């Protein structure tokens, strides 16, 4: 059983913010598995679990606020009687450019309050994490992480979530080191205004059918939601 924790803040006002990209990645995984709407609330988390593509997964979104994420993670690990080797935490990282992915097998919180809470609660830094780049703040860091993605970023956000979901699946199958060898080199396609590749080429614009070719496969981006 692999436990994947996506970090975020509860509440509609935080739903689409950069700090909640961990939740967004888990939502993408749940969509793939057909588990959307099937979760239940327990141990201060929204939890859904099952078997998907040969993987036994527990997807966990702590319902505590970010700086108390460790309380929920400790409870889930205790319930599942899972060792830290079976845990992956997905979190945002403003030290990474928007669209970059970075696996680490341990280490400090790096200034992230959710990771700091988990480390403090578990008394251990030795768990895997997948950091998802949300771009550097132009001003105050708190304002940045609690802001929504910019217009050009929203166009590419679905592709980033697909790549991050692919990365989580790779971690569950092959472990952190092998997943890192592949996905730490991942680069999101350039902004539409910066692209020069023709339709059908890797990182080019979508064809007439709306399907775009990316480094990790063929994707048909989801249309933006109302108000985006």
Domain 2-188 part of CATH 3.40.50.970? no
| Active-site annotation holder among 19, 112, 144, 182 | 19
Q: Which pLDDT score is estimated for 193?
A: 58
Q: Which pLDDT score is estimated for 197?
A: 66
| Predicted TM-score of the model (pTM) | 0.84
- The Cβ of residue 137 has, within 10 Å, a number of other Cβ atoms equal to 15
Q: Which pLDDT score is estimated for 222?
A: 60
Domain range annotation of the chain? 2-188, 194-228
Q: Which pLDDT score is estimated for 149?
A: 95
The answer for residues whose C-beta is within 8 angstroms of residue 64's C-beta and 6 or more apart is 10, 44, 71, 72
Return averaged pLDDT per consecutive 10 residues of the chain, 228 residues in all.
Answer: 97 96 97 91 95 96 96 96 96 95 94 96 97 92 94 92 97 97 90 64 73 76 53
First to last CA, the chain: 37
DSSP one-letter string for 54-82: TEEEEEEEE-S-GGGHHHHHHHHHHHHT-
Distances, alpha carbon 53 to alpha carbons 29, 67, 129, 163, 167, in Å = 11, 33, 22, 16, 14
- Catalytic site residue 19? yes
Rounded Cα gap, residues 51 and 9, in angstroms? 27
Q: E strands of the chain, at which residues?
A: 2-6, 40-42, 45-52, 55-62, 87-93, 101-104, 128-133, 212-214, 217-219
């Amino acid at each position: 059983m692999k436990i994947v924790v996506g970090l975020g803040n509860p509440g509609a006002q935080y739903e689409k913010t950069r700090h909640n990209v961990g939740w967004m990645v888990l939502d993408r995984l749940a969509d793939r598995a057909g588990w959307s709407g099937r979760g239940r609330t327990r141990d201060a988390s929204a939890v859904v679990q099952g078997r998907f593509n040969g993987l036994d997964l527990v997807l966990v979104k702590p319902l505590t606020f970010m700086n108390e994420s460790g309380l929920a993670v400790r409870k889930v690990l205790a319930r599942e009687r899972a060792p830290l080797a079976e845990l992956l935490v997905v979190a945002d990282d403003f030290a990474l450019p928007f669209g970059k992915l970075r696996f680490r097998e341990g280490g400090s919180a790096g200034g992230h309050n959710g990771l700091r809470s988990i480390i403090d609660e578990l008394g251990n830094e030795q768990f895997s994490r997948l950091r998802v780049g949300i771009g550097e703040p132009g001003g105050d860091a708190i304002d940045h992480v609690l802001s929504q993605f910019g217009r050009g970023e929203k166009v590419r956000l679905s592709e980033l979530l697909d790549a991050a979901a692919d990365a989580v699946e790779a971690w569950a199958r092959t472990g952190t080191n092998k997943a890192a060898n592949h996905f730490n080199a991942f680069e999101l396609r350039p902004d539409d205004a910066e692209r020069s590749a023709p339709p059908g080429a890797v990182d080019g614009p979508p064809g007439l059918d709306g399907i775009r070719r990316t480094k990790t496969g063929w994707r048909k981006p989801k249309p933006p939601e109302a108000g985006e």
